[in-house]
């Protein structure tokens, strides 16, 4: 019996280990190797170049990346925490509606979001120009671009991390703790700083680290907005485009080192004993706002927030209705029609990227779905030597910036390998679905693991005791129970894969170019309308999938982050 168990574990581990070794570990090592190579010789020269005076741009880019990330954390927190506090602690008209709107940024893929921001607040943006015309100013009063642009986009797209962690932490705080503090004579201000805030800290620190990592890795915003401003993730792309793979590898290693050290710090922080609530079954408690001035003030905040949050979506929709060539030198678009959407379905050339994105996303999602299930199962329910190592391996793609994952794949599969069945994968169709698959493994594993850990071991034992063989138990008991977790992970993978840009831009070919790449191309040709229409398609697909997931499988978007 013992041997049968061991055999099952081993059978389960073989595919997991093969996939992780071949597509995660080996590419990472390939990059590491490349970074120590110069003209075919093993050397530290590349690192010398990176930090040395020969290429000051690199060091500057590293510094800029860190600087932007720190500021992004600050601004995201500044928006996310108060908003979460207001929407979760006070009851006022429309509260539920506003709090649903608050997570809208996540349906906007990063590239599309950046594009919308450009058209809204950029030099030629609608908002600055509208203000200029309204007040008859000679110049636009403000415009975002360069570093301010990047920061605004980051704050917009990343504040939901703070919003969601704060909301869930607030809802988990036992109201009696705060009531006890009031009872002991503290005022509102003291209660917040001495009781509520300390209880929120663990979640906030986790959110801060997450935002930091995501901004370090951010690619789309600098890509479209940076101008001459250098950040590390973009430098990797330029090095690759210039054909300097060795420098690209070195930059990747350094960017990864920063990201991974933050990840490790986060793990260490979370493993410390924090003060979880001992009591259970507490609902949120909200103070009803009775003071009419305050009440309408809150409602105003809600409405303003809603407008700001939805403006990019609206802009995108509007732009997508602008036919090609109809909006050139004018401040505002002149004509609207469904031309761009009609072309999508009539012109096979324009339809193709959509088809590519759908096919590649589906392949990747099917992959992560199955791989996520067996990997989480092995990690949670089986014991074997080297489990920690496997756990780390699974999470590597999550810690690595997307650009680095792309570089890893280029360096690993620009030559025939056993893992690619002796083929060169770079330049083929399969490299992109593979990249998506690898990038989104951790999403499914994480959400599935969370559910599996809740599942009592005795359920499997009960099935076995009733005479069910392992596979039957797995199929009939384990899978149905963990399905919500698997689905919400896969849903998130779908959402991200449809809008994926950083690895796509490194790996695409003409024949498998996904929507994001085509958006970039259309922008280059100043065909804003078509680009926006593509963006709308992405948003539409994401919304449809989210709706289906919520409606038929009860998977909530909020739970997926």
Residues between 421 and 460 that touch another protein (CB under 8 A): 456, 458-459
Question: Of the two residues 271 and 465, which places its CB atom closer to another protein in the complex?
Answer: 465
Asked if residue 54 binds another protein (CB under 8 A), the reply is no
Residues in Cβ contact with 127 at an 8 Å cutoff, skipping those fewer than 6 apart: 120, 121
Distance in Å, CB of 362 to another protein, minimum: 26
What is the C-alpha separation between 410 and 12, in angstroms, rounded?
Answer: 29
For another protein, the closer of residues 329 and 471 by Cβ is 471
Residue of 304, 462, 544, 548 that binds another protein (CB under 8 A): 462
> Could you tell me if 409 and 481 are in contact, meaning their C-beta atoms sit under 8 angstroms apart?
no
Furthest C-alpha separation in the chain: 84
Asked if residue 4 binds another protein (CB under 8 A), the reply is yes
- Tell me the C-alpha distance between 170 and 197, whole Å: 9
**Measured from the CB of residue 211, what is the shortest distance to another protein in angstroms?**
35
Q: How far is the CB of 447 from another protein (least distance, A)?
A: 17
Count of residues interacting with another protein (CB under 8 A):
20
Q: Under the criterion CB under 8 A, does residue 354 sit at the interface with another protein? A: no
CB of 482 to another protein, least distance (A): 10
**Choice from 41, 466, 471, 552 touching another protein (CB under 8 A):** 466
Q: CA 161, CA 155: separation in Å to the nearest integer?
A: 10
Q: What single-letter DSSP state applies at residue 476?
A: I
Binder among 464, 509, 521, 559 for another protein (CB under 8 A) = 464
Binder of another protein out of 2, 11, 41, 184 (CB under 8 A): 2
DSSP string for residues in 259-276? HHHHHHHHHHHHHS----
Q: How far apart are CA 521 and CA 526, in angstroms?
A: 9
Closest to another protein by CB, 78 vs 479, is: 479
Report the residue number, 462 or 525, with the smaller CB distance to another protein.
462
Residues in the chain: 561
Q: Which is nearer to another protein, 295 or 382 (CB)?
A: 382
Which of residues 123, 346, 453, 461 is near another protein by CB under 8 A? 461
Q: Which stretch binds another protein (CB under 8 A): 57-65, 320-328, 405-413, 474-482?
A: 474-482
Buried b (16+ CB within 10 A) or exposed e, 31-65: bbebbbbbeeeeeebbeebbeeeebeebbebbebb
DSSP secondary structure, 135-179, as one string = TT-SS-S----HHHHHHHHHHHHHHHHHHHHHHHHHHHS-HHHHH
Can residue 185 be called a binding residue for another protein (CB under 8 A)? Answer: no
The backbone region for 467, taken as left when phi is positive above 0, alpha when psi lies in -120 to 50, beta otherwise, is left
Q: Between 183 and 458, name the residue whose CB sits nearer to another protein.
A: 458
475 lies in the site for another protein, by CB under 8 A: no
Q: How far is the CB of 467 from another protein (least distance, A)?
A: 5
The reply on whether position 11 binds another protein by CB under 8 A is: no
Q: Crossing angle, helix 528-553 and helix 348-381, to 10 degrees? A: 40
Measured N-to-C along each axis, helices 402-413 and 197-217 cross at an angle, to the nearest 10 degrees, of 40
Q: Which of 484, 413, 393 is nearest to 447 (CA)?
A: 484
Q: Which is closer to another protein, CB of 103 or CB of 481?
A: 481
Considering the complex, what minimum distance in angstroms separates the CB of residue 16 from another protein?
24
Q: Which of 130, 177, 306, 477 binds another protein (CB under 8 A)?
A: 477
Q: Which is nearer to another protein, 5 or 179 (CB)?
A: 5
The rounded distance, in Å, linking the Cα atoms of 284 and 21 is: 45
Q: Which is nearer to another protein, 10 or 137 (CB)?
A: 10
Strand partners, 287: 90
Chain residues in the site for another protein (CB under 8 A): 1-2, 4, 456, 458-459, 461-469, 472, 476-477, 480-481
């Amino acid at each position: 019996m013992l041997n049968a168990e061991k055999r099952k574990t081993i059978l389960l581990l073989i595919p997991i280990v093969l996939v992780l070794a071949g597509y995660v570990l080996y590419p990472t090592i390939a990059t590491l190797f490349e970074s120590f190579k110069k003209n075919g010789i093993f050397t530290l020269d590349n690192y010398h170049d990176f930090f040395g005076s020969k290429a000051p741009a690199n060091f500057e880019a590293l510094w800029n990346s860190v600087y932007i990330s720190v500021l992004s954390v600050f601004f995201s927190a500044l928006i996310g925490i108060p908003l979460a506090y207001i929407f979760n602690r006070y009851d006022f008209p429309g509260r539920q509606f506003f709090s649903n709107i608050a997570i809208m940024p996540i349906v906007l893929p990063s590239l599309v979001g950046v594009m919308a921001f450009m058209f809204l607040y950029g030099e030629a943006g609608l908002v600055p120009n509208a203000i200029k015309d309204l007040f008859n100013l000679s110049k636009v009063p403000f415009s975002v671009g360069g570093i301010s642009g990047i920061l605004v986009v980051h704050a917009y797209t990343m504040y939901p991390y703070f919003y969601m962690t704060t909301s869930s932490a607030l809802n988990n705080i036992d109201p009696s703790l705060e009531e006890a503090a009031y009872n002991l004579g503290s005022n509102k201000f003291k209660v917040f700083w001495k009781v509520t805030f300390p209880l929120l800290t663990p979640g906030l620190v986790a959110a801060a680290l997450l935002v930091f990592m995501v901004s370090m890795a951010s690619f789309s915003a600098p890509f479209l907005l940076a101008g001459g401003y250098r950040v590390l993730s973009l430098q990797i792309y330029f090095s690759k485009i210039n054909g300097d793979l060795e420098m690209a590898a070195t930059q990747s290693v350094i960017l990864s080192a920063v990201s991974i050290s933050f990840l490790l710090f986060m793990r260490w922080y979370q493993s410390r004993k924090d003060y979880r609530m001992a009591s259970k079954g507490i609902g949120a408690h909200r103070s009803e706002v009775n003071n009419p001035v305050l009440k309408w003030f809150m409602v105003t905040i809600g409405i303003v927030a809603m407008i700001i949050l939805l403006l990019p979506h609206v802009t995108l929709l509007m732009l997508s209705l602008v036919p090609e060539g109809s909006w050139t030198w004018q401040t505002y678009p002149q004509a609207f029609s469904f031309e761009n959407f009609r072309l999508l379905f009539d012109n096979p050339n324009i339809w193709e990227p959509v088809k590519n994105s759908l096919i590649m996303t589906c392949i990747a999602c099917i992959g992560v779905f199955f791989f996520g299930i067996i990997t989480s199962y092995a990690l949670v329910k089986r014991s074997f030597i080297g489990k920690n190592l496997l756990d780390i391996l699974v999470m590597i793609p999550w810690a690595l910036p997307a650009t680095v994952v792309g570089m890893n794949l280029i360096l690993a599969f620009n030559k025939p390998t056993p893992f690619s069945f002796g083929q060169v994968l770079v330049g083929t169709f399969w490299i992109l679905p593979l990249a998506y698959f690898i990038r989104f493994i951790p999403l499914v594993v994480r959400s599935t693991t969370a559910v599996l850990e809740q599942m009592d071991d005795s359920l499997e034992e009960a099935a076995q005791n009733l005479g069910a063989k392992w596979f039957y138990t797995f199929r009939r008991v384990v899978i149905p129970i963990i399905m919500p977790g698997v689905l919400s992970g896969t849903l998130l993978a779908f959402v991200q894969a449809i809008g994926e840009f950083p690895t796509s831009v490194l790996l695409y070919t003409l024949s498998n170019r996904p929507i994001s790449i085509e958006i970039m191309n259309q922008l280059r040709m100043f065909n804003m309308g078509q680009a926006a229409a593509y963006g709308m398609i992405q948003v539409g697909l994401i919304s449809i999938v989210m709706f289906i997931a919520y409606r038929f499988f009860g998977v909530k978007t909020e739970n997926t982050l």
